[in-house]
Structure formats: C-alpha cells, structure tokens
Chains A and B, each alone.
Chain A
Amino acid sequence: DTGVSQNPRHKITKRGQNVTFRCDPISEHNRLYWYRQTLGQGPEFLTYFQNEAQLEKSRLLSDRFSAERPKGSFSTLEIQRTEQGDSAMYLCASSVRENEQFFGPGTRLTVL
C-alpha cells in the first residue's frame, strides 16, 4: 500500500500521560499536514511541514503539542500531559502540490 500510513491506529491513555503518533507520508510528497477531528466535526488544521520545515502552526496547537519531521520524511506528533479534551482522531495528510491532500486513516486517541 503506497498511501499515507499512521501508527498506532488507536491509543488509549490516562490523563497526564504523554503520547506520540507517527505519520509516514506518500514517498514523493514533500508537504505534510496534521489535523484533529472530533466526533461530528470536520478536520481542524493543526500544523504544516514543507520538507523538514514547520511553516505553520494553528492556535489549536498548545504548548503541550509538538510536531517534528526530521529529514523531511516521516512525522511525529507528541502530546504531553494529555487531557480528556485531547480525545479525538488525529489525521495526517500529505501532498506534492498545495491543493491535493491525501489523508491517512488517522489515529484515534482516547484519554481516560
């Protein structure tokens, strides 16, 4: 499968724990995006990378959130000191052009 992959697919954690998600984009895609989607809502933009450079961060990305894309390949999204409000689906997308974003299946986070 040459699509965007995300791991893990599901994560259950206790409040206060740290979690890290991984996204592997389509190989030739230099642009990578993270979104958060809560139940019954559309995806909300979190952050954007072009190659290894993080060019934009949403106000939604509090200081407990950090994203990296070392060497412009895979990306990780870490949430420190998780809160119940962080429970959501975290989606990664990649593109070779600005407009045509290909989404992964997402990581569903549940914070107990």
Chain B
Amino acid sequence: QQQVKQSPQSLIVQKGGISIINCAYENTAFDYFPWYQQFPGKGPALLIAIRPDVSEKKEGRFTISFNKSAKQFSLHIMDSQPGDSATYFCAASSLDTGGFKTIFGAGTRLFVKA
C-alpha cells in the first residue's frame, strides 16, 4: 500500500514533442505528490508538485495532471528539449502525518532526441 508505481521505465521523445510519464498510488492517505528531476551524478531536484485538491498544475513547460478517483497522476513535458534528458521520479507523501516519509517511484529515464 506504500508503493508508487511509475511508467514507462524509459522514454525517447523527439525535440519539440510531449513527454508523458505516469504514476499510480494505492495509499489514500497520500496528499502531496511531487515530481523530481535527476541528472547523472546529482541528487534529485524538485520540479513541480501538486496536492489532491486540484486536478492540474502548470509551471512553464511542465504540467501535472491529477486524477484522485483513479489514484493516478502524470507529468507532461511540453516542447521537450535535449536538456530535459534526465531521470524523472514521481513521489508521494502524507503531509498530515508529517510528510517526511516520501515514497518514490522507480524512475523514468527520458531521452530527448535533437
């Protein structure tokens, strides 16, 4: 019940295309859903996050779509660029119980072809 399942494992997108990464969770106590971007040799960096009281959040080229009833959320990267090539992790935590135990998905390696 603590798992966050992420797909696909890897993704190749043409420059200018849309990258879509999906995640699903089971624990209905989760109430905070961040996405992290990780480049080789670096720690993860917070990209964008959403709480379940909204269905969509957009920041620049990055959009989170959230479906509370399906317990699914996704990251859309519009106009994907080669510099977006990285590993992306979805995650979930419960702020009501402290929020410190963040559960991460297994990651999606994105490669944007120039």
Contacts and interface: CB of A to CB of B under 8 A. Distances in A.
State whether these chains interact. yes
A99 B43 CA distance: 16
A44 B101 contact: no
Most buried by A among B91, B101, B102, B105: B102
A98 B105 CA distance: 19
B106 interface: yes
A102 B47 CA distance: 11
Interface string B98-114: 11111111110000000
Interface stretch (A14-22, A35-43, A64-72, A76-84): A35-43
Interface string B30-43: 00101010000111
B42 to A, nearest CB: 6
A74 interface: no
A42 B104 contact: yes
Interface in B21-51: 32, 34, 36, 41-46, 49
A71 B30 CA distance: 31
B89 interface: yes
Nearest to B43: A103
A109 interface: no
Given A40-B106, A42-B105, A42-B106, A103 B45 contact: yes
Interface residues of A, number: 24
B98 A101 contact: no
B106 A41 contact: yes
A40 B41 CA distance: 13
B11 to A, nearest CB: 15
A68 to B, nearest CB: 17
A56 B89 CA distance: 23
A42 B91 contact: yes
A93 B106 CA distance: 18
A99 B100 CA distance: 7
Interface of B: 6, 32, 34, 36, 41-46, 49, 89, 91, 93, 95, 98-107
5 closest pairs, A vs B, by CB?
A42-B104, A98-B99, A103-B43, A48-B100, A42-B89
